[in-house]
Structure 1
Amino acid sequence: MDFEEAASRLYATPAGDFIATRNELAKQLKADGDQLGSTRLKALRKPTVAAWLTNLVAHELPDEIDDLLALGDEFREATADLDGERLRELTPKRHKLLDKLSKEATKLSEREGQKVSADVGQKLRETLDAALVDPAAGEAVREGRLSSALRHVGFGVVDESGEPSNVMPLTDERRQRAQERRAKSSAKEAEETAAKESAAEKAKREKAERDQEEREAAEKAQAKQELEDAVAAAKQAETSVEDLAGQLDQAREALADAQEAVHRIGDELDEARKAARAAQKESREARKRYNRL
């Protein structure tokens, strides 16, 4: 067994058994001579409930995760082409697939004895959506080793109407091709529109665009701050959980030692009682012999 196999087994284990399984696998790697792998495994963090649920879905429903990532590829292609009609067609599929995976995840979680709260359900959906939007997030979800839920905090793939909103930066080459295609198809329309626009109308439109950009920038900054706060809170919570888990392990060891001492003292007490009874019997026999003299 190498580190990769051990890590996969670790994140496939039930959440309640994570710490014990991690320690056991780390010891096995060390015994096999893989000290580095053992150290790396010990550094892996226990997943949050939402991350554990996402990993469970990745392990149990790999085909559905592949469908999700394939849909993400279609979104990125349509975005690169600035194909609004195609994006409007894909958007309902996106919501339908996320709904399906969320329902399946709830069933899997209940099978494992873990209830899904509204907050965990929302974080799961955000993680799956991030996997659809971002290729790196998609590979992380497919791998099934998340320790924390994910969230896409940039401009989403599309807005509510299905219009493109630059999920991820386009390469200069792809951007140029998309612009050229749209320029050819809309050159005549743009000329007619520009001819009809007055200076006042143009200024009003530009002001509205600037206002929209400012609002989007403010929303992005707020989302980033919320993400940073959530990540910090999650790290603090994970540290507390690990500390408490360590204290519990120590307490269990102390309890085992105390129980062993109780058994040992009990055995010694039984022996002492036997010796006392034997001594009392010997004393009575000696007294009888003395009285007969």
Structure 2
Amino acid sequence: MNTEKDLDRLYGVDPAEFTELRKELVAEAKKRGDRDAARTIGAARRPTTAAWVVNALVRADGTATTRLDEISQQLRAAHAAMDGAKIRELSAAQRKLVDELVRTGFAATGVSRPSAALRDDVVGTLQAAVADPDVAARLGRLEKAERWSGFGEFGSVTAVGPAPKAKVKVKAGPPPTPPPAPDERQVDAARDRIETARRDVRTAEQATATADETLADRAAALATARRRYEKVLETLSAAERTLSLADADHAEAEQASQAASTALHAASSVLADAEEDLRRLAASDDDGS
């Protein structure tokens, strides 16, 4: 139970805070002796910006996942029934729902001017959640943007419509020449290129995720250094004020010391004169006697 709560908390923070919080949660799991939780939390990947927006919107709107699931089930039923009119109606409802949730996500994350690429990633992820139950199940803890990888767009109505009209039979002509069979080597080569491209895409996605996480770490380190620098500046400013006050106090004390020394010298002169007068008077008395 603690692991689930920790993961929900982890994927609910700003990506810039993700790495630091993950370290804290792993340390807490180890401290309570839950090694499985520590491994699970430690393996969590920092979400991309698009994934963060989608995670935030399902937290901001508690009905989002339910509404996505409902439109998904309705679309599946309409497709199974080959009901073109219903599919068109539900596709329009799906677009409206996705647009609403996209606005909710950007509002929840404070992204006022998202780039076209970011908006496209968020829209694509929500469409994938409608089409793919696996994506829908991971809403709230997504690590990256998702895309529906099935054939065509889920909810597309272009292939569904009223039954075609019967064609008028015409006199058959000579049979068409069948197209040449594809060269198996060319087919195999095309398949190899597709597989290679897929591997390259996966590698690029992993590299992007790693780079994004490194960037977040550097941003957090920069923010920490900036806060420390500002504290040093505050301390330095306070020290300069203290030094200035001490200089003023020292100058005042020095003037007071000089004034006291002058007064002492004057008093000492008066005392010496008085003592001299006293000696003379004493000497006169001795001579008179």
Judge same fold: TM > 0.5, yes or no: yes
Residues 1:108 and 2:108 aligned together: yes
Cα separation, 1, equivalents of 2:175 and 2:99: 42
Q: Amino acid of the residue matched to residue 11 of structure 2?
A: Y
Alpha-carbon offset, residue 232 of structure 1: 2.9
Aligned equivalent of 2:131: 133
Contact 2:19-2:217 at 8 Å conserved across structures = no
Q: Could you tell me how far apart the structure 2 residues matched to 1:55 and 1:27 are? A: 24
Partner of residue 217, structure 1: none
Aligned mate of 1:196, from 169, 184, 191:
169
Bigger CA radius of gyration? 2
Cα separation, 2, equivalents of 1:200 and 1:103: 59
- Tell me if structure 1 keeps the 8 A contact 2:16–2:219: no
Shift of 1:104: 1.8
Aligned to 1:94: 94
Equivalent position to 2:153, from 156, 172, 197: 156
Give unpaired runs (5+ residues) of structure 1.
Answer: 165-181, 208-220, 260-293
Preserved contact between residue 23 and residue 42 of structure 1 (Cα < 8 Å): yes
Change (3 A) 1:222 1:151: farther
- Relative to structure 1, the CA distance from residue 131 to residue 236 in structure 2 (aligned partners, 3 Å threshold; closer, same or farther) is same
Q: Which amino acid aligns with 1:136?
A: D
Q: Which residue of 2 aligns with 1:46?
A: 46
Tell me which amino acid in the other structure corresponds to 2:24.
E
Q: 1:50-85: per-residue Cα shift (whole Å, max 9, x none)?
A: 011111011111202311211010011111122222
Which 10-residue stretch deviates more, 96-105 or 15-24?
96-105
* Distance across 2 between alignment mates of 1:25 and 1:130: 30
Aligned residues with identical type, % of pairs: 26
Task: Map 1:1-293; keep pairs closer than 5 Å.
Answer: 2-110=2-110, 115-141=113-139, 144-154=140-150, 155-159=152-156, 161=158, 163=160, 193=166, 196=169, 199=172, 229-243=200-214
Are the structure 2 counterparts of residues 67 and 151 from structure 1 closer, same or farther at C-alpha, using a change threshold of 3 Å? same
> How many residues are treated as equivalent by the alignment?
216
Distance in 1 (alpha carbons) for counterparts of 2:117 and 2:194: 17
Amino acid at match of 2:4: E
Please, what is the CA RMSD of the aligned residues? Answer: 3.9
1:152-172 deviation line (CA, Å, top 9, x unaligned): 1222223354738xxxxxxxx
Structure 2 residue ranges without an equivalent (≥5): 180-191, 232-289
Match of 1:128, SS state, is helix
Cα deviation 1:226-277 (Å, max 9, x = unaligned): 7765543231022234445667888979xx9xx9xxxxxxxxxxxxxxxxxx
Alignment-mate amino acid for residue 28 of structure 2: Q
Cα drift, residue 222 of structure 1: 10
Q: 1:47 to 1:200 in 2, by over 3 A?
A: farther
Deviation at 1:88, TM superposition (A): 1.7
Hey, what's the Cα distance between the residues in 1 that align with 2:48 and 2:2?
Answer: 25
- Would the alpha carbon gap of residues 51 and 244 (structure 1) be closer, same or farther in structure 2, given more than 3 Å must change? closer
User: What is the TM-score normalised by the length of structure 2?
Assistant: 0.62
Change (3 A) 1:40 1:153: same
Deviations 1:110-146 (A, max 9, x none): 2xx67522111100000000111112221122xx101
What CA distance in whole angstroms lies between the structure 1 residues aligned with 2:11 and 2:30? Answer: 19
Return the letter of the residue paired with 2:105.
Answer: A
Q: Residues of 1 paired with 2:219 and 2:108: CA distance?
A: 29
In 2, the alpha carbon distance for the partners of 1:224 and 1:29 equals 40
C-alpha contact (below 8 Å) 2:57/2:105 kept by paired residues: yes
Contact 1:88 1:162 in 2 (8 A): no
Distance 2:114 2:133 in 1: 27
Q: 1:203 to 1:128 in 2, by over 3 A?
A: farther
Matched residues in 2 for 1:150 and 1:77: separation? Answer: 23
SS in 1 for 2:63: helix
Q: Which amino acid aligns with 2:137?
A: E
AA paired with 2:144? Answer: S
Aligned AA (2:210): T
Conserved in 2, the CA contact under 8 Å of 1:129 and 1:152? yes
